[in-house]
């Protein structure tokens, strides 16, 4: 157990729908990062939050949004889902904004049918 | 965006063989990290390198931070079945805006024949 908790582990939904993925960072970590991993692909950085504020943005679609709450957990919202959004979505956390040593969760596997 | 070229993309080896993989970039990084991802799991940190030329070992794993700061390699000696998985390199650098940015390679998928 890495200490980073992601729910749900698996999610199957239809095109056009909206889903929310949840992440609780490791105790004491203030930064949360979201990554997307499509089949047989590398990790694509989506967005980073630090202590409730957005710190860095990667290749995140406008249909996607995220936030970090006062208790430091984060949610990634995916809307108007398309088939190509099917992927593993990973949350990672680190103690600060340095994006140095990230601790990853086990991921949420999203399947869009 | 910034790219890390990780090679090879996949490896098929016999148990007991040594493994070598590397990452290169056209940009300089101030930290190199190596992660391993088991099937159905998130990546787990194997080795972190913070200084150009640094050579670090973790059991059967050895990694080096290239002297030019643009590359890194990971070696696995005497491979065993549990080494199977996807290995990712990641480089960290400071952006113009002053933020730390972590970039991942595309991964090396390791398969071991018993």
All residues of chain A having their beta carbon less than 8 Å from the beta carbon of residue B31 are 100
**Among residues A32, A59, A4, which one has the least CA distance to residue B44?**
A4
State yes or no: pLDDT of B40 exceeds 90: no
Residues of chain A positioned with their CB less than 8 A from the CB of B108 = none
Q: Do A97 and B99 count as a contact with CB atoms less than 8 A apart? A: yes
Q: Is B107 on the interface with A (CB under 8 A)?
A: yes
List, for residues A30-70, the tens digit of each pLDDT value: 999 999 998 767 889 999 999 999 988 888 999 999 999 99
Q: What is the pLDDT of residue B93?
A: 81
* Residue A91 phi, psi dihedral angles, 5° rounding: -110, 140
Q: Where are the beta strands (DSSP E) in B15-99?
A: 19-24, 31-37, 44-49, 55-58, 61-65, 71-76, 85-94
Report the C-alpha gap between B33 and B63 in whole angstroms: 9
Q: Cβ of B33 under 8 Å from any chain A Cβ? A: yes
Tell me the per-residue pLDDT of A18-28, one tens digit each, with 9 for 90 and over: 999 999 999 99
């Amino acid at each position: 157990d890495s200490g980073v908790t992601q729910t749900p582990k698996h999610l199957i939904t239809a095109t056009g729908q909206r889903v929310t993925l949840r992440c609780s960072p490791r105790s004491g970590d203030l930064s949360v990062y979201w990554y997307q991993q499509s089949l047989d692909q590398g990790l694509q950085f989506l967005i980073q939050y630090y202590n409730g504020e957005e710190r860095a943005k990667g290749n995140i679609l406008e249909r996607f949004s995220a936030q970090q709450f006062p208790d430091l957990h984060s949610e990634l919202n995916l809307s108007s889902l398309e088939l190509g959004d099917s992927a593993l979505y990973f949350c990672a956390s680190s103690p600060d904004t340095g994006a140095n040593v990230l601790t990853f969760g086990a991921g949420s596997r999203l399947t869009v049918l | 965006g910034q790219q890390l070229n990780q090679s090879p993309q996949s490896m098929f080896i016999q148990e007991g063989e040594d493994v070598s993989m590397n990452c290169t970039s056209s940009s300089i990084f101030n930290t190199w990290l190596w992660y391993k991802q088991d099937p159905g799991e998130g990546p787990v940190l194997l080795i972190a390198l913070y200084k150009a030329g640094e050579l670090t070992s973790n059991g059967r794993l050895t990694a080096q931070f290239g002297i030019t700061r643009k590359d890194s390699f990971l070696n696995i000696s005497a491979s065993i079945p549990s080494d199977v998985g996807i290995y990712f390199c990641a480089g960290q650098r400071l952006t113009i805006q002053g933020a730390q940015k972590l970039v991942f390679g595309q991964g090396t998928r390791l398969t071991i024949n018993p």
